[in-house]
């Protein structure tokens, strides 16, 4: 059997217990369920400060820890199955579970219920927290006080994921990023679909192979919310002719005519459009 290494907690020396008999490893472990208790942290392919991002983990995300060494934890994310290394300092117990998620593009964390206090940091859209009480306009959480109207219950669903994606216009491009400080093309798709209650894989090749329904490659009936794929890239249609995407050419999340993006990407040697898909927005 062939396993995607991005999604398989297996190494020559160690693997998840449920992979026993499926992969070879020196030992198998059950793993411990934990949760991220800092605003965000990168997940990396190797435990080193200079290793590039593979994806970004946001506050409240659940994960399973299979190994720890020298301040790093080897984990698998619960939401999308991604495997890699994160800083162990950002991990805490799985309980209490989050009750709300951040709906604003970003929201400051305060040490008390006052906008005049110096912020402790901030949470990006999609981060989740347990709300312990309301105090005036603030929600108290274990990470600090958050403006209550910036939060929604975990069960809340955005009606239009494209409108959510449009809030990221102007956000810097960051390989592996999933926050309002930096985001990449597939992270933008995954995060904004999640805000609408639709689970999506992390990477563009995974999304191209199984997210929603395929469309004819030269479809002339594209509509808002359709996804357009190139090799290693994905964008979201705002309407029949306009593409929204985080990209390394502009190093920003931008909106531009699809025809212009196709011509530029082809001229740069990155090839033609490889697929188009329509997410199931009724999920």
3-class DSSP assignment, residue 195? helix
User: Model pTM?
Assistant: 0.96
- Cα torsion angle, 53, 97, 105, 273, sign: positive
Q: How far apart are CA 281 and CA 283, in angstroms?
A: 5
Structural domains in the chain, CATH included, are 5-93 (2.30.30.40), 100-153 (2.30.30), 161-278 (3.90.1720.10)
Task: Please write the tens of the pLDDT for every residue from 167-208.
Answer: 999 999 999 999 999 999 999 999 999 999 999 999 999 999
The DSSP output letter for 226 is: -
| Tens-place pLDDT, residues 46-97 | 999 999 999 999 999 999 999 999 999 999 999 999 999 999 999 999 999 9
pLDDT class of 283 with cuts at 50, 70, 90: very low
Beta bridge partners of 33: 64
Cα–Cα distance, 213 to 128 (Å, whole number): 29
Sheet holding 133-135, edge to edge: 133-135, 138-141, 144-147
């Amino acid at each position: 059997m062939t396993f995607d290494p991005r999604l398989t907690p297996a190494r020559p020396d160690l693997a998840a217990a449920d992979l026993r008999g499926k992969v070879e490893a020196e030992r198998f472990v059950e793993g411990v369920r934990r949760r991220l208790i800092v605003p965000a942290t990168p997940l990396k392919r190797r435990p080193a400060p200079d290793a590039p991002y593979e994806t970004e983990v946001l506050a409240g995300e659940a994960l399973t820890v299979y190994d720890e060494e020298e301040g790093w934890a080897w984990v698998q994310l619960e939401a999308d199955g991604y495997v890699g290394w994160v800083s162990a300092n950002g991990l805490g117990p799985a309980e209490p579970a989050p009750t709300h998620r951040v709906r604003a593009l970003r929201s400051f964390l305060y040490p008390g219920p006052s906008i005049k206090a110096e912020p402790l940091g901030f949470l990006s859209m999609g981060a989740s927290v347990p709300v312990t009480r309301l105090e005036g306009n603030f929600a108290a959480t274990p990470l600090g006080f958050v403006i209550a109207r910036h939060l929604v219950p975990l069960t809340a669903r955005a009606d239009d994921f494209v409108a959510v994606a449009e809030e990221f216009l102007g956000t810097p491009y960051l390989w592996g990023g999933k926050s309002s400080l930096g985001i990449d093309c597939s992270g933008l798709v995954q995060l904004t679909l999640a805000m609408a209650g639709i689970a999506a894989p992390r990477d563009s090749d995974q999304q191209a192979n199984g997210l929603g329904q395929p469309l004819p490659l030269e479809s002339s009936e594209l509509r808002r919310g359709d996804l357009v794929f190139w090799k290693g890239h994905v964008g979201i249609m705002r309407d029949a002719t306009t593409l929204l995407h985080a990209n390394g050419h502009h190093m920003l999340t931008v909106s531009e005519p699809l025809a212009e993006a196709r011509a530029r990407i082809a001229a740069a040697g990155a090839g033609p459009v490889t697929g188009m898909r329509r997410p199931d927005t009724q999920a």
